[in-house]
Amino acid sequence: MTDLPEYRREEPGAQPPALHPAYASTVKRAPQQPPIRLPHTLSELTGPQWDRSVLRPSDDDLTRQNKGAPLGERIIVTGRVIDEDGRPVPATLIEIWQANACGRYIHPRDQHDAPLDPNFRGEGRVMTDDEGRYRFVTIKPGAYPWRNHANAWRPAHIHLSLFGPAFVTRLVTQMYFPGDPLIPLDPILNGVPDPAARMRLVAAFDLETTKPEWALGYRFDIVLRGRAQTPPLG
């Protein structure tokens, strides 16, 4: 036990259901028994602690991590990380990973019939500033087939992992792109029960972030916990 105050528990329905039959793999992995409520411990309330020494110079620009430029549409993604009361969350580590412009990951299990890009690793890290702001440059990922059902394709998306100020505030989620016709068909996104919460996973085109003659900009703000939280999505 600890004398430190616990973080507010999530609202019912904040997490996508463990069992969502349209998302086929949840049928195999969903728990068969109700979850057990555990108290927060000292390690969950106080760690981890990060500083900028964990970052490499090109971690925030996935287009400069190799000898040449990757293929595809260059984009800028920016936003703020805030808590449930609207306060900025500074110095939080954000890890991202994604498919390349052809919709393929650098992973031995990804055998999708699409080319790998030798100049794109598909992973990066950034850390929020004092106002909770972050920014990274990358390539817009492509859609890819995933065999969940007949003719199943995942919309273009970027995975994000945020640690926040403590392990209990960690969030793993996905960012989608506006206007993607595959979004209404995606069982993973549609596993989030609340339509308004699903829309919080779709970035907004941002002309202010857009760099003339260089890259389109998107804004994706992230809320850790609370009624307006960004939904978790594995």
Q: What span, in angstroms and rounded, lies between the C-alpha atoms of 16 and 27?
A: 14
Q: How far is CA 39 from the centre of its chain?
A: 27
Q: Exactly one of 157, 198, 200, 225 is catalytic; name it.
A: 157
Q: Exactly one of 7, 23, 105, 134 is catalytic; name it.
A: 105
> Does the annotation count 105 as an active-site position?
yes
Q: Is 97 helix (H, G, I), strand (E, B) or coil?
A: strand
> Does the annotation count 23 as an active-site position?
no
How many residues belong to the chain?
234
DSSP bridge partners of 219: 78, 204
Residue 85's Cβ-side half-sphere holds a number of Cα atoms within 13 Å equal to 3
> Does the annotation count 133 as an active-site position?
no
> Does the annotation count 37 as an active-site position?
no
Q: Exactly one of 74, 80, 159, 198 is catalytic; name it.
A: 159
Quick check: 15 and 23 in contact, CB under 8 A?
A: no
Q: Exactly one of 7, 144, 176, 218 is catalytic; name it.
A: 144
Quick check: 175 and 157 in contact, CB under 8 A?
A: yes
Q: What span, in angstroms and rounded, lies between the C-alpha atoms of 17 and 232?
A: 11
> Does the annotation count 134 as an active-site position?
no
Q: What span, in angstroms and rounded, lies between the C-alpha atoms of 175 and 204?
A: 10
Closest CA to 199 of 165, 167, 173, 176: 176
Between CA 122 and CA 136, with CA 146 as vertex, the angle to 5 degrees is 25
**The residue type at 136:** F
Q: Exactly one of 154, 198, 200, 225 is catalytic; name it.
A: 154
Q: Is 28 helix (H, G, I), strand (E, B) or coil?
A: helix
Point out the residues that are catalytic: 105, 144, 154, 157, 159
